[in-house]
Structure 1
Amino acid sequence: MEKLTHLKSALASLSQISENEKNGFINLVSRYLSGEAQHIEWSKIQTPTDEVVVPYDTLVPIPDDPAETKKLLDKLVVLKLNGGLGTTMGCTGPKSVIEVRNGLTFLDLIVIQIEHLNSKYGCSVPLVLMNSFNTHDDTLKIVEKYSNSNIEIHTFNQSQYPRLVVEDFTPLPCKGQPGKDGWYPPGHGDVFPSLMNSGKLDAFLSQGKEYVFVANSDNLGAIVDLKILNHLIKNKNEYCMEVTPKTLADVKGGTLISYEGKVQLLEIAQVPDEHVNEFKSIEKFKIFNTNNLWVNLKAIKRLVETDALKMEIIPNPKEVDGIKVLQLETAAGAAIRFFDRAIGINVPRSRFLPVKATSDLLLVQSDLYTLIDGFVIRNKDRANPVNPSIELGPEFKKVGNFLSRFKSIPSVIDLDSLKVTGDVWFGTGIILKGKVCITAKPGVKLEIPDGAVIENKEINGPEDI
């Protein structure tokens, strides 16, 4: 274990991180080096029963009693994972400040939703943002604009760990890489110790809060659900993961299994090669993790204090300035097996509406959805429960380019699929139906005129419109 001894002495010289962070990091690395990876025996995997993964429509409806609702909501904290940058969509700064609809950002919508709850029921649901060192400064500036809101907004930073040089397990900042590139945030599994280390956890417990609802800030479907909260309190479930039926677009998502009498998350990385196709099939593994999680605050405190949350380690190899480095990360969903009476709830697809790319943005900005009180509501006129599949070429990848190529977002209520390749520009009032494929020839600019109605067509030039 000389690697560890070497690492400990190297860490001692790093002043940028706290003792808590140093300890957490050493703990993670020593677990990684001991090779304690949990091997799943494929034959022991069982499909969870309805007791373990509860169907959403069996949850008891909430009586329409504002006083009871207020009581429930006063036990809740909403926490959004806000550590990600919008770089994949060509934006600098936190992803949560990308404008989603009507000029409102992810964060605006989240704030409007909680304001609505607080004013409707006279409760005080706080909003907590877990930032990373990448998003911290920007987020602090951004939340100033909500200072007159009826919500308490809290922020804290997740841990900052040094990237490890693969060759000799030295922290990269010790190799003359003092800037941001030397560090990384260790995945959202870090939410539990970081919430505790920030002092926020104890503060919420002292206010009588009992549950935290954790979700990705880019999931527009992750709204507060009273039926779920009520179910967890009544049944004393310390942890609940919202899962939803898999479609062919979700084959890589983690799934819930019953294993040796416990419910746990199975991720594609844990699946032996010979079973990967089985894992991706939607016959055997019918559900996947939305990363909407409901967790009991006292249970988090108990498990963090006893160092019991040993989630599977996800090694993430990177390269910085030609140096091979390693990031060790964990995922919050993997914590499910450490909590008592943990369950999944099989929720409607409407609770999973992430915006990972401009193709998702197109759907959210289209007539497929409307916006009411900060909630993105799906249009009842769409008969097909599945959303259209959208493939946009690299010209549309960055948000700025995407917005400039659409004078207005086309109507997609009756669209099954859209594929766009090349230098294509859209006018206003366009209607797309069925299967549409638009390809501009190399070096040619293809403009789709205002008001065009395109149904089940392949378009390779103006003459096909």
Structure 2
Amino acid sequence: MAAADTEKLNNLRSAVSSLTQISDNEKSGFINLVSRYLSGEAQHVEWSKIQTPTDKIVVPYDTLSDVPEDASQTKTLLDKLVVLKLNGGLGTTMGCTGPKSVIEVRNGLTFLDLIVIQIESLNKKYGCSVPLLLMNSFNTHEDTQKIVEKYAGSNIEIHTFNQSQYPRLVADEFLPLPSKGETGKDGWYPPGHGDVFPSLMNSGKLDALLSQGKEYVFVANSDNLGAVVDLKILNHLIQNKNEYCMEVTPKTLADVKGGTLISYEGKVQLLEIAQVPDEHVNEFKSIEKFKIFNTNNLWVNLNAIKRLVQADALKMEIIPNPKEVNGVKVLQLETAAGAAIKFFDNAIGINVPRSRFLPVKASSDLLLVQSDLYTEKDGYVIRNPARKDPANPSIELGPEFKKVADFLKRFKSIPSIIELDSLKVSGDVWFGSNVVLKGKVVVAASSGQKLEIPDGVILENKEVHGAGDI
């Protein structure tokens, strides 16, 4: 490390030591991350060394053995499992305050309700005790604590713990924003979901789970409705002693930025777009060479997490995230849980069906999952077999629909979209009830005009710019 950088780090270390809001673990974790960043660890991969993983490394889902139908064997499997949902995100992009997991998804049920119902029905069916862990951030912790109280009567143990809280770095001075007078939440950030492993350990949850005989944790984003417990995957990992498994799924043109699995110097690893040399970015985005992407559904052995965290061996690639807070340019250093794959023994990917990746990132996704394209049973959101096309329709809604509250106001009821290929809506558009959309539909209100789609209308391969087009 250059002398100037060493000085930067020493100044930072003394500034951080006087921050009273965070623990010693958080302080040392943060300083560790910054010193790795300053020492300029190689982020790029040597392109010529990249190899396509074989079926042994990225196992096709349809080659997994069926789980024996004996209920007592299933109970034994499930009693080794913990489900952990990443619950640190706020619903700000969808215009909500509070944790994203409490947005209503279907039939008045939130993401969190659906997750609880799923695990409840598993525990009831097999007489097992799969606990649910929620990793919150300081942004979502208080709200989540209150929300979790409503499940007190359920047959699940629900645990919450917080991921680390790190100070944002003032970019030009390389000092923590809180020590520069930003005392509120804006001075801090959660350092990405790569932090799940040390936080699980530092919270004491990891040792508690190991003492109960738990062996694997299934980690997934709380907004991915497809991320449900899969016995075939769990069974495969236990049989083959895989310490880590990443679920990947075939890439479509909508997923070109997602990380992919590669074989590199004899190990399986995650390749993210940020690590790709500029001249190869288009190749990375093509679906010819890199056919799969990371769903962020991860299965990890708990003993292996403990071993690697204790050895300080999980040095995932650092993702620098520059931001501006109240006019001050700041830097957040983050890591991603998927990048940890290369540190675990016998790590694999499993190429799963697309149905296991159903994230709700925007109101256009909400339209899909609230429509007749899906039904909900026992907390599972299931695709309607009446839809013949394996791909979902592509939906683009204008900014008027961005916030959940506005989205809900603009639909008297969610249209039928089983036979829809694509929908593009722009301007001040309002939908009546029982509207049916088929083929390619464009609804574009002229500037300053309100366009209402009447109840019961069928729009098939149509462009609508005014009432006269309906």
The answer, yes or no, to whether TM exceeds 0.5 is yes
Q: What is the DSSP-based 3-state SS (H/G/I as helix, E as strand, rest coil) of the residue aligned with 1:173? A: helix
Q: CA deviation at 1:18?
A: 0.2
Determine the C-alpha separation between the residues in 1 that align with 2:18 and 2:242.
Answer: 43
Q: What is the DSSP-based 3-state SS (H/G/I as helix, E as strand, rest coil) of the residue aligned with 2:391? A: coil
| 1:291-440 pair list within 5 angstroms | 291-440=296-445
Q: Does 1:229 align with 2:241?
A: no
Q: Does 1:134 align with 2:142?
A: no
Q: Does 1:258 align with 2:282?
A: no
Determine the C-alpha separation between the residues in 2 that align with 1:377 and 1:309.
Answer: 36
CA deviations on 1:48-103 (whole Å, 9 max, x unpaired) are: 00000000000000111100000000000000000000000000000000000000
**Amino acid in the other structure paired with 2:366:** L
TM-score between both structures, scaled by the size of structure 2: 0.99
Q: Does 1:448 align with 2:453?
A: yes
Aligned match of 2:3: none
Q: What is the DSSP-based 3-state SS (H/G/I as helix, E as strand, rest coil) of the residue aligned with 1:22? A: helix
CA deviations on 1:364-397 (whole Å, 9 max, x unpaired) are: 0000000010000000000000000000000000
Aligned match of 1:191: 196
Aligned match of 1:67: 72
Determine the C-alpha separation between the residues in 2 that align with 1:348 and 1:331.
Answer: 23
**Amino acid in the other structure paired with 2:370:** Q
Q: What is the DSSP-based 3-state SS (H/G/I as helix, E as strand, rest coil) of the residue aligned with 2:331? A: strand
Q: Does 1:203 align with 2:215?
A: no
Aligned match of 2:112: 107
| 1:49-64 pair list within 5 angstroms | 49-64=54-69
CA deviations on 1:112-153 (whole Å, 9 max, x unpaired) are: 000000000000000000000000000000000000000000
**Amino acid in the other structure paired with 2:417:** V
Contact 1:388–1:417 (CA under 8 A) maintained in structure 2:
yes
**Amino acid in the other structure paired with 2:467:** P
CA deviations on 1:298-354 (whole Å, 9 max, x unpaired) are: 000000000000000000000111111000000000000000000000000000000
Determine the C-alpha separation between the residues in 2 that align with 1:433 and 1:193.
Answer: 49
Give the number of aligned pairs: 465
Determine the C-alpha separation between the residues in 2 that align with 1:67 and 1:302.
Answer: 31
Determine the C-alpha separation between the residues in 1 that align with 2:79 and 2:272.
Answer: 34
Aligned match of 2:220: 215
Match of 2:152 among 131, 147, 160: 147
CA deviations on 1:196-230 (whole Å, 9 max, x unpaired) are: 00000000001000000000000000000000000
Contact 2:44–2:277 (CA under 8 A) maintained in structure 1:
no
Q: CA deviation at 1:357?
A: 0.2
CA deviations on 1:144-187 (whole Å, 9 max, x unpaired) are: 00000000000000000000011111000000001000000000
Determine the C-alpha separation between the residues in 1 that align with 2:302 and 2:70.
Answer: 26
Runs of 4+ more than 3 Å apart: none
Unaligned segments of structure 1, at least 5 residues: none
Q: Does 1:464 align with 2:464?
A: no
Aligned match of 1:125: 130
Q: What is the DSSP-based 3-state SS (H/G/I as helix, E as strand, rest coil) of the residue aligned with 2:209? A: helix
Aligned match of 2:275: 270
Q: Does 1:163 align with 2:162?
A: no
Determine the C-alpha separation between the residues in 2 that align with 1:411 and 1:63.
Answer: 39
Determine the C-alpha separation between the residues in 2 that align with 1:435 and 1:277.
Answer: 28
Unaligned segments of structure 2, at least 5 residues: 1-5
Q: CA deviation at 1:37?
A: 2.6
**Amino acid in the other structure paired with 2:396:** E
Determine the C-alpha separation between the residues in 2 that align with 1:321 and 1:205.
Answer: 44
**Amino acid in the other structure paired with 1:77:** V
Q: Does 1:290 align with 2:306?
A: no
Determine the C-alpha separation between the residues in 1 that align with 2:312 and 2:35.
Answer: 14
**Amino acid in the other structure paired with 1:124:** S
CA deviations on 1:222-258 (whole Å, 9 max, x unpaired) are: 0000000000000000000000000110000000000
Determine the C-alpha separation between the residues in 2 that align with 1:203 and 1:110.
Answer: 22
Contact 2:227–2:297 (CA under 8 A) maintained in structure 1:
yes
**Amino acid in the other structure paired with 2:199:** S
